């Protein structure tokens, strides 16, 4: 239930903020906004204030903005989107992307005020430092034992009573595991607020770059900053995420074009739902980090020059600027419809892959 609630709140917040950007900039430029809906139809109820209907809808997964003239009609009216200058229309289209970036900065800044996990070296002095699992290799001993990304290693014991003293450094955990390859070990883990034990036998001859247990480890501590520094760190972290998303997306596209592989590494709604559950079990700050990552990701994806996306609509404005006249509405509508159909098909394929991978 917690996972479902967290998933709805996060996804709803991301899409709602995105649509709020379109709404605010359209209003600022004098464009008539016919409806601003929270959630998706069917409509529960609506209240009209001025010329805009503010509606509450049944499906709480975001929102939508209905802008007068957004499909190219009513060019004779100065209140129409279609009648505005190219830069004004582009501003409205890109406002959602901007708002998602602002949201990511705000969430990470809040996280740094509260205290976010911060990776540190074994050599650094830090109170409360912990060794955290940052990756679990599929089908490895750790995976079979039920270890998850985000788990904290509290202690490691052998069957004969030998115990790792002080599991607060990565090198200490790695050395103890290496000395006890092939032996039955009991690992005490912390996940969220719960402590539990798993039994594991580290491999004597593990595959290359997988390690005896099949995990990647990091030494982390929680760190918080005054609000001024927190905003600066949140901003830096957001743009680091944006660069990481862009470079990862470019690599996936290159991999797909060169070898036909890569699509399986993309996750859809089912995968996000699963990750949300893991983040929720780990604590509120992890949910903040996940929401910030998803918000930055939504911004970049929507900015892509692909039909049906905000970036695709901006591309048509660029073509209009170059050729000196708008692209035929029939052609643009057909292109966006085809792009939307492709995105829906892609989402179905990714969702099916998520289901087979998770279940």
Same domain, 266 and 352: yes
271-311 pLDDT tens trace: 676 777 777 777 788 889 899 999 999 999 999 999 989 99
pLDDT at 262: 57
Same domain, 106 and 191: no
Same domain, 290 and 351: yes
14-37 pLDDT tens trace: 989 999 999 999 999 999 999 999
What CATH number is associated with residue 163?
A: 2.30.42.10
Residue 330 tokens, joined: 């029939």
Same domain, 97 and 146: no
Q: Does the model's pTM come out above 0.85?
A: no
Task: Give the structural domain span for 148.
Answer: 120-219
Domain count of the chain? Answer: 2
Same domain, 111 and 250: yes
Mapping DSSP onto H, E and C, the string for 106-128 reads HHHHHHHHHCEEEEECCCCCCCC
In a domain, 240, yes or no: no
In a domain, 133, yes or no: yes
In a domain, 256, yes or no: yes
Kindly tell me the number of DSSP H helices and DSSP E strands found in the chain: 9, 8
Same domain, 204 and 287: no
φ, ψ dihedrals at 120, nearest 5°? -135, 160
Same domain, 354 and 253: yes
Same domain, 111 and 43: yes
Is residue 225 within 8 Å of 107, Cβ to Cβ?
no
> Where do we find the tokens 């859809």?
268
In a domain, 236, yes or no: no
The answer to whether 19 is a known catalytic residue is yes
């Amino acid at each position: 239930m917690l996972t479902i609630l967290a998933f709805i709140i996060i996804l709803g917040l991301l899409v709602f903020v995105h649509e709020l950007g379109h709404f605010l900039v359209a209003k600022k430029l004098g464009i008539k906004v016919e409806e601003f809906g929270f959630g998706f139809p069917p409509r529960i109820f609506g209240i009209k204030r001025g010329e805009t209907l503010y509606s509450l809808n049944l499906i709480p997964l975001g929102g939508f903005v209905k802008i007068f003239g957004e499909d190219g009609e009513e060019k004779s009216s100065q209140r129409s989107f279609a009648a505005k200058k190219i830069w004004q229309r582009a501003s409205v289209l890109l406002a959602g992307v901007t708002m998602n970036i602002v949201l990511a900065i705000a969430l990470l800044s809040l996280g740094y005020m509260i205290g976010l996990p911060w990776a540190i070296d074994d050599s650094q002095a830090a109170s409360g430092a912990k060794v955290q699992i940052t990756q679990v290799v599929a089908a490895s001993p750790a995976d079979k034992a039920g270890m998850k990304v985000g788990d904290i290693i509290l202690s490691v014991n052998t069957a004969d009573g030998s115990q790792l003293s002080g599991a607060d450094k990565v090198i200490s955990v790695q050395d103890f595991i290496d000395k006890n390859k092939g032996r039955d070990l009991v690992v005490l883990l912390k996940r969220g607020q719960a402590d539990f034990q798993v039994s594991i036998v580290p491999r004597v001859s593990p595959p290359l770059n997988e390690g005896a247990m099949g995990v990647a480890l990091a030494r982390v501590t929680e760190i918080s900053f005054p609000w001024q520094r927190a905003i600066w760190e949140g901003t830096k972290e957001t743009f680091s995420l944006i660069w990481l998303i862009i470079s990862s997306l470019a690599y996936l596209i290159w991999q797909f074009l060169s070898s036909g592989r890569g699509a399986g590494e993309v996750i859809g709604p089912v995968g996000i739902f699963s990750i949300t559950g893991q983040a929720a079990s780990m604590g509120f700050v992890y949910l903040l980090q996940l929401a910030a990552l998803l918000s930055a990701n939504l911004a970049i994806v929507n900015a892509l020059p692909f039909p049906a996306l905000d970036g695709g609509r901006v591309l048509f404005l660029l073509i209009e600027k170059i050729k000196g006249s708008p692209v035929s509405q029939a052609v643009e509508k057909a292109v966006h419809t085809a792009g939307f159909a492709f995105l829906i098909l892609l989402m179905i394929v990714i969702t099916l892959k998520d289901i087979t991978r998770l279940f």
